[in-house]
Amino acid sequence: MTRIDGRAWDELRPIEITPGFNKFAEGSCLIRCGNTMVLCTASVEEKTPPHVPEGEGWVTAEYSMLPRANRERSKRDVSKLKLSPRSAEIQRLVGRALRAAVDMKKLGERTITIDCDVLQGDGGTRTASVTGGFVALSYALHSLVERGVLPEMPLKTCVAAISAGIVDDQLLLDLCYEEDSAAQVDLNCIMTGEGEIVELQGTGEGRAFTIEEQRALVDLCAKGIREIQAIQRSALGG
């Protein structure tokens, strides 16, 4: 099949990560994945939530879409007096993914909050939030080390995420909105720098899918994530 933007079936959309986009946050970046744009900022607080063990830190995330991030204006969560179920699900996903990259004991008794604000959504906002969120988190941690707040970098690994799916019985990497809307199967994958899976979210939208198809989708995601991690390293000056 011919993709709407002319990409090959296993090709990522153009990805651009601009670090330091917000001058006030301890770490930040703007990530563009095709027409999807997410602003990621990392803020450091010298305290932790009550549930965190003594001597350890915490990494959490918040996610929201601006009113005109989509084709039609959506209401802000604050106007509804509660977080939408979708936003709550995604921010928990981003938080889990980023915590997998950090040694909480080395972080110490402080909290890093990653805010992921979708400026424009064209599919893959949650995976872009994980990928950009890791870059913002890394810059915040580097800042703590450079200022002598932390004696060593608490990062254990890197994390990145991408989607893959089956559209018209064809495997596709990095679905845009039109492809995602028509997908028979949709899978989001988060991996470490060592290629280990942090989380998989797979759904059969139009039909069930086999174990063999799942493996093929995961392999496709692994290819994309290796390419994304090279872009992350470049954004981090590595």
HEC assignment per residue over 181-234: HHCCEEEEEEEECCCCEEEEEEEECCCCCCHHHHHHHHHHHHHHHHHHHHHHHH
- Give 72 or 57, the one with higher predicted confidence: 57
Question: Are 47 and 41 within 8 A, CB to CB?
Answer: no
Tell me the average pLDDT across 80-84: 67
Beta strand 27-33 with 36-45: parallel, antiparallel or unpaired? antiparallel
Domain spans in the chain, listed from the N-terminal domain onward? 15-235
Q: Of 3-7, 26-30, 131-135, 232-236, where does mean pLDDT reach its minimum?
A: 3-7
Tell me the average pLDDT across 43-58: 97
Q: From CA 230, how far away is CA 233, in angstroms rounded?
A: 5
- Give 74 or 215, the one with higher predicted confidence: 215
For residue 70, pLDDT beyond 80:
no
Question: Are 82 and 26 within 8 A, CB to CB?
Answer: no
Q: How confident is the model at residue 212 (pLDDT cuts 50, 70, 90)?
A: very high
Q: From CA 119, how far away is CA 156, in angstroms rounded?
A: 30
H or E element, residue 151: none
| Segment 164-176, tens digit of pLDDT | 999 999 999 999 9
Q: From CA 116, how far away is CA 133, in angstroms rounded?
A: 7
Tell me the average pLDDT across 107-134: 97
For residue 81, pLDDT beyond 60:
no
For residue 80, pLDDT beyond 60:
no
pLDDT at 74: 81
Tell me the average pLDDT across 94-104: 98
The CATH topology of domain 15-235 is Ribosomal Protein S5; domain 2 (3.30.230)
How much is the mean pLDDT over the chain?
A: 94
CB atoms within 10 A of CB 44: 18
